[in-house]
Chain A
Amino acid sequence: MRLSLVGISHHVAPVELRERVALPLDRAATLARSLGDAVCLSTCNRTEVYVADEDELAALSSLEEIAGEPLRSVAYRLHDDEAAIHLFRVSAGLDSLIPGESEILGQVRAAYDAVRPGPFLDRVFQQAIALGKRVRTETAIGESPASVPAAAAALAHQVFGELRGRRVLVVGAGRVGELAAGSLAARGATIAYVANRSRETAAALAARFDGEAIGLDEVPGRLADVDVVVASTGSPAALIGAADIPSRRRRPLFFIDIAVPRDVDPAVGKLEGCYLYDIDDLEAVVSETLAGRRVEAEHAERLVALEAQRFTEWRASLDVVPAIASLRAHAEEIRAAELAKLGALPDEERRTIESVTAQILNKLLHLPTVRMKEAAAGTEGTRYAETIRELFGLDGEAE
């Protein structure tokens, strides 16, 4: 059995090319089925086709047809162990733009589920999915946020714990503020208010989160009513000063100031119970967490190596096991034929002869069987299997 892979990813192809071969799940599955026993994994960062026992050139041609241009100069083509290791690294998140991102594991599973491939690819993908889960369980590679909006939400979680029921005031309805609000909402926070210079823009964003649109002049008055403030306006001067902060006593107030120039006076961060993170602070946190992910990635690579070793052994055994089975069947056939020549014998004598011959057969075949299995664990399995077939004339008897 051969495993082949052809594909392009963010490592080798620009987005202009990737977007042309990025396929929705149903089209990726259709492509895979048209190629025989295959799985097509297509995300925004990669489109890869894994095929079993087939030439990957047909897959490459199909991708070129979809892209509308030759891909041979950029596409990678990998085989057997290399292809498997690549898939393992992909499902572990090690080949992703951001190491450890978790979305890819779901995408691998979806690609696999969409076609339900034959036994060989089935085993490889099951192994890859199990490894992806293991990497996320046994390492901390996916625990820390990898973007500024995600870091802002994680920091809010560090202050409040559960964010469900926590109220958020978004000051500035720009793209970055929207992303931060989205990260907070994804963790259960309520986007209570959206303040913006333009009421219409504020209303549009507020409607997305089921919040209330307010004017910038209303911001200080709403601070007593919220737990988190996300500020990202283009205002040239600070909008929130220390004097605007109401007495909150035992309720913390967390400010995420993504604006440049800053919207929140740095003096606010010095007040008791107030925590203020500006864009530099958030980027420092992200940079640190990415460094942490890289450390964890080393641990994950070790898990990939272990899994790759298991794959190599399993694939080698695929060559050897049928040869062993054929050899035993061949020997058993000879034994049965010779026993048949004995004619009528008393039952007890027949049982004794059958037992003795079976033992001789087992003892004779024991060592070759063990040696072949050992060879299968290394790189000699296929050669041993071929030799056995040649010596005993087993061609055509396999399996």
Chain B
Amino acid sequence: MALMAEVLFWPAVVAYGEAVIAYASPRFTRLGTWGVRLGWLAQTALLAVQASRADGFPWSSWAGSLNLFVWLVVGTYLIWGCRPRFRLLGLTVMPLAVTLFVAARVGGGTGAGHRSGYGNLFLVLHVGFVLAAFAGFTLAAGLAGLYLLEDGRLKRHAADILRLKLPSLVVLEHLMRRTIAVSLPLLTLGLVAGFVRLRERGGGVDALMGATIATWFVYASFLAFRPSARTGAHLALAGFALVIVARIALAGSHF
């Protein structure tokens, strides 16, 4: 089983890596897209192997959840981002995915997995929803970055604006808002599951939980106040900074 996980990790990480290199040049965008697709299939197989091997939810550890998070991020990107005009989004998302995927492996998150002390339903609801929401926020941040880049180029009249083709401002803003609108309810469900368990079994609020709640407020204010596109993009990036803090810096305090 460990060998199978080993066998599936490498093609996935190599394909993601190939996508990063291919996305660097507009000529190889299609190769990049195929790298993402094949890598995601390999990682899906890896997760399937982990799921079939484990007694329960296999991604309850810090590294395991990172593995699942990468899969969700790439999967979300695959839904609508895998188009030539979104090449720069791929160039933003895929290096992050490769880095986190390698970190997941170093932390043991791509192996056979171990049994968690938590119930499966709770883990699926809590970890699954929170990670899916974080994946959505990651994509929204990528879109926000592209929006600010394109907005800046239009404002300063960059002569090469039509050569380095990006999606239009309106499309970027629309997708960013839609992604956040879908992700925030998922985060809400994940948080509710966590709070229910906290109430049943007791325990305090740790740093990661605090950061996640702050993230919820940032994105909730995004949807509630409907700021201008530029302010909204900054808000989405601020929320993503909290996601990174929660996922990377504070993860050890929670798992």
Q: Which residues of A contact B (CB under 8 A)?
A: 140, 143-145, 151, 154-155, 157-161, 249-250, 252, 269, 272-273, 275, 277, 281, 284-285, 287-289, 292
Contacts and interface: CB of A to CB of B under 8 A. Distances in A.
A253 to B, nearest CB: 12
A288 B167 CA distance: 19
Given A158-B169, A159-B170, A249-B228, A275 B162 contact: no
A155 B162 contact: yes
Contact of B169 (A140, A145, A159, A249): A159
B199 interface: no
A365 to B, nearest CB: 46
B161 A285 contact: yes
B201 interface: no
A284 B167 contact: no
Interface string B142-186: 000000001000110101111101111111010000000000000
B168 A160 contact: yes
Interface string B221-236: 0000010111000000
B59 to A, nearest CB: 38
A161 B167 contact: yes
A275 B157 CA distance: 9
Contact of B173 (A144, A250, A269, A277): A250
Contacts of A161: 167-168, 170-171
Given A157-B168, A158-B168, A160-B170, A285 B230 contact: no
Nearest to A249: B228
Query: Which of B26, B154, B171, B230 has the most CB atoms of chain A within a 10 A radius of its CB?
Result: B154
A390 B173 CA distance: 76
A275 B230 CA distance: 13
B159 A287 contact: yes
Contacts of A275: 154-155
Nearest to A269: B155
B155 A289 contact: no
Pairs of residues from A and B, 8 with the lowest C-beta to C-beta distance, nearest first? A161-B168, A288-B159, A281-B157, A284-B159, A161-B171, A292-B163, A275-B154, A144-B162
A273 B229 contact: yes
A396 B76 CA distance: 71
Nearest to A275: B154
Contacts of B162: 144-145, 151, 154-155, 158, 285, 288-289
Contacts of B169: 158-160, 252
Contacts of A252: 169-170, 229
20 contacts: A143-B165, A144-B162, A145-B162, A154-B162, A158-B154, A158-B166, A159-B168, A159-B170, A249-B228, A250-B228, A250-B229, A269-B155, A272-B230, A277-B157, A281-B157, A284-B157, A284-B159, A285-B159, A288-B159, A288-B160
Contact of B226 (A140, A250, A273, A284): A250
Contacts of B226: 250
A269 B160 CA distance: 18
Nearest to B226: A250
Contacts of A273: 228-230
Contacts of B157: 277, 281, 284-285
A159 B154 contact: yes
Contacts of A159: 154, 168-170
Contacts of A250: 173, 226, 228-229
Contacts of B150: 158
A158 B161 contact: yes
A154 B164 CA distance: 13
A284 B162 CA distance: 11
A155 B228 CA distance: 21
A138 to B, nearest CB: 10
